[in-house]
Amino acid sequence: MPVPEPRPLALTMGDPAGVGGECTLRAWLARRGTYPFFALDDPDHLALLAQRLGLDVPIVSIASPADAAGVFDAAMPVFPMPLPGPVRFGQPDPANAPIVIDSIAQAAAMAMRGEAGAVVTNPINKAALYSAGFAHPGHTEFLAAITGVPGESIMMLASPLLRVVPVTVHVSLRDAIDMLTPATIVAAARTVHAALKRDFGIERPRLAIAGLNPHAGEQGALGREEITLVLPAIEQLRGEGMDVSGPWPPDTMFTRIARPKYDVAICLYHDQALIPLKTLDMDHGVNVTLGLPIVRTSPDHGTAYDIAGKGIADPTSLLAAIDLAAELARARPFLGSLGAPG
């Protein structure tokens, strides 16, 4: 069977008042690899931004993702999504929120139809989106809802040094502990295990599950959650044939000696996962949404309003997100909507 031409990657707008636009322009200047990409953005805004920053990036509007490959070598292809007004860098404008949301939705729809190989999302400002009626905690939950798998998606942060998955994400620490059950840990581990096999090509993934308490509870002396929550989940997963270890003491599982012993660290709350990843390798960290019928990655940084429009944004994390999206798209070359041939 002939290998199809690479489908371009769809880069969403992100908050136009942040650094997403500049990083997208700089990513085109640093273009590499075999996968072209296009932006779902306002071409006039990007052209003005390139002029402001002195970046030689020609902008060409395209009518569909199929037009991107023919344009990409000479100019950055942009699927037009006009903003309602001028952008003030560093100042999120709720008036732009509907376009930001639509950029994500259209990119996902293109990937579901097999027109785009993957979605790469630029950073958003959640508060600005909430003012426009955005009813999801973030990108991950929104993409799960619009691709038909609500409650089944998992956020993974990946870099060359470490992969981490938080079982609970954008909730308070108190609520995160209340949400933990053996079932939630098992569900997360199953999704991660399947994704590492399918998309990352790891034949027998090694999952390390963190404890919740200091020293992983010290056999119950410092807390019993490891006994009541984590160990039952580990036993069930092992019974399903998975290579699972833990509960690991959270203060030692990310050391240089410990990291080679597993393929992913499954953590129990947001900061337990993200602090070590960002400390070790923030520049190359990529946010990957597992459990979706499409490939989605994102740079591991926010809108960076303090440097937006100043010409000093670093595209390294976006480039890493593009490279990983291309790699994962190659693992699913024939997938279209819901895994059907594209």
Q: Pick the closest to residue 145 from 292, 281, 248 (CA basis).
A: 292
Helix, strand, coil percentages for the chain (3-state, nearest 5): 40, 15, 45
Asked if 90 and 310 count as a contact pair (C-beta separation under 8 A), the reply is: no
Q: Pick the closest to residue 121 from 286, 327, 316, 331 (CA basis).
A: 286
**Token match 């003005």: residue?**
48
Please give the pLDDT value at position 151.
72
The mean pLDDT of 86-114, rounded to a whole number, is 93
51-70 tens-digit pLDDT = 999 999 999 999 999 999 99
Residues 6+ away with beta carbon under 8 Å from 161: 259, 280, 281, 284
Nearest-angstrom CA–CA distance, 70 and 223: 59
Please give the pLDDT value at position 320.
92
The mean pLDDT of 161-171, rounded to a whole number, is 92
- Alpha-helical runs (H) found in the chain: 20-29, 43-53, 68-72, 97-112, 126-130, 139-146, 173-179, 182-198, 225, 231-239, 270-281, 316-331
State the pLDDT confidence band at 34, using cuts at 50, 70 and 90.
low
Please give the pLDDT value at position 331.
77
For residue 110, give the DSSP letter: H
State the pLDDT confidence band at 342, using cuts at 50, 70 and 90.
very low
Please give the pLDDT value at position 341.
29
State the pLDDT confidence band at 285, using cuts at 50, 70 and 90.
confident
Please give the pLDDT value at position 1.
40
Q: Which CATH number fits domain 154-287: 2.60.120.10, 3.40.50.880, 3.40.718.10, 1.20.120.420?
A: 3.40.718.10
Please give the pLDDT value at position 75.
95
The mean pLDDT of 313-320, rounded to a whole number, is 93
Please give the pLDDT value at position 219.
87
The mean pLDDT of 95-101, rounded to a whole number, is 92
Please give the pLDDT value at position 5.
60
Identical fold for domains 1-152+292-342 and 154-287, yes or no, is yes
Average pLDDT over the chain, rounded to an integer: 90
62 CB-contact burial (10 Å; exposed 0-12 / middle 13-18 / buried 19+)? buried
Please give the pLDDT value at position 131.
80
State the pLDDT confidence band at 148, using cuts at 50, 70 and 90.
confident
Flag the least confident range among 94-108, 123-137, 182-196, 223-237: 123-137
Q: Between 50 and 149, where is the model more confident? A: 50
Q: Looking at the predicted structure, is the pLDDT value of residue 300 above 60?
A: yes
Residue ranges of domains in the chain: 1-152+292-342, 154-287
CA atoms within 13 A on the CB side of 200: 22
Q: Looking at the predicted structure, is the pLDDT value of residue 337 above 60?
A: no
Q: How far is CA 286 from CA 61, 171, 247, 297, 319, in A?
A: 28, 21, 25, 7, 9
Q: Looking at the predicted structure, is the pLDDT value of residue 335 above 80?
A: no
The secondary structure of 273-322, three-state, reads: HHHHHHHHHCCCCEEEEECCCCCEEEECCCCCHHHCCCCCCCCHHHHHHH
Q: Looking at the predicted structure, is the pLDDT value of residue 22 above 70?
A: yes
Q: Looking at the predicted structure, is the pLDDT value of residue 108 above 90?
A: yes
Q: Which CATH number fits domain 1-152+292-342: 3.40.50.1110, 3.40.50.410, 3.40.718.10, 3.40.50.2000?
A: 3.40.718.10
Flag the least confident range among 160-169, 221-230, 273-282, 323-332: 323-332
Q: Looking at the predicted structure, is the pLDDT value of residue 324 above 60?
A: yes
